[in-house]
A = this chain, B = another copy of it.
């Protein structure tokens, strides 16, 4: 397929320029002030799909952000791959930690720095460019459908309705997603599972107004202190989560499965050095790979209360809040865990305070089979492009769509991600290596080729 490589080489700068244009839209789905940018991003994707040669391109309205659809049916008897991606991004905050502006993509050391560079604009756009490449060179070996949504970072709340209402339009044989990481270009890997998510916001309310901490301090419960105590109690001394029933549905892996998982290269010293920590943390009895792959977790994503400005204010705050999320593993259900958390957290509240727990969004964990035609096609494609077969790995993140697709469309997913764990997803200075972007564009046509061949 050297003509594919030639075409990529010849269009390299344009492929980058188009991605940069896409990255300049601040399409933050969590914050309603970016709504008009989100809509412009959807239009841009639709336009690029059309130009690349997709038919029936639509910006489909939902109750939230629109979903961009497009397709190319070359032959109804051939297999169909449904490519999923998302054009929304995480909020860029804290802004002061970015070395260059989050929505002005900047190249340093062969890496594109921008919010969404990897998650998921960079990875999603590879598919549109790979589609163009195939159209302009070898032609498509199978049918391809695109469904690019704008609410992945806020729980894909309206995708559910869209999928249910468009079963026929979305009919396919497999889902292909590039929204995960591989170990490295030298050690390619394929994710075979994703964690689910329960995300909640909690508020602890004490007195009906902020109080003078001298006049009232000592006689009235401080909601920030109470919240700290409640959060502190959510992990025991072995860092197990203390919510009753939390682990009930977790399927323990066999010793063999765990051993296989721990074969993936993991250098603890490098990991610590990269993160700047002296010691790792985690649930007793599990390795770091297991802690991020096959074990459920509970994290405080944000906490706030009282005076957080410059200087000192001697206030006993009226309330304190936190955003808390849990990553779930196969067989745990987001709605069940959300409800267990809610019940437990409310039960922790002493009479001094009132507690409000508001679920944000959730997603189900998923496992992708390694014995499917599609997985084998991905394996072959990566082996050909990288010169090395990929290692199967469990991913720690969540893409709720994977479980949703299986349930609603009966389809399995292939997670062919080209990101790196060090891409600073959801963090300041998110980046995507230019080499990975082009390696992805090169690998995707191989996937479609082998998937069509192996499906015969």
Contact = CB atoms under 8 A, between A and B. Distances in A.
A299 B426 contact: no
Contacts of A281: 219-222, 350, 352
A296 to B, nearest CB: 8
A449 interface: no
A155 B276 CA distance: 36
Given A215-B397, A312-B325, A396-B218, A303 B301 contact: no
A224 B353 CA distance: 21
Interface stretch (A136-144, A182-190, A287-295, A333-341): A287-295
A181 interface: yes
Secondary structure at chain A's binding surface: helix, strand, loop or mixed?
loop
Copies in the assembly, this chain: 2
A309 B154 CA distance: 13
Given A228-B227, A292-B217, A309-B31, A197 B314 contact: yes
Interface residues of A, number: 99
A21 B94 CA distance: 39
A299 B222 contact: yes
Nearest to A320: B303
Contacts of A315: 90, 301-302, 426-427
B232 A397 contact: no
26 contacts: A30-B313, A90-B313, A90-B315, A91-B311, A181-B215, A199-B312, A208-B277, A209-B429, A210-B427, A215-B395, A216-B275, A217-B299, A217-B396, A221-B280, A222-B299, A224-B302, A225-B235, A225-B299, A227-B228, A228-B303, A279-B350, A300-B306, A303-B304, A312-B361, A314-B398, A314-B426
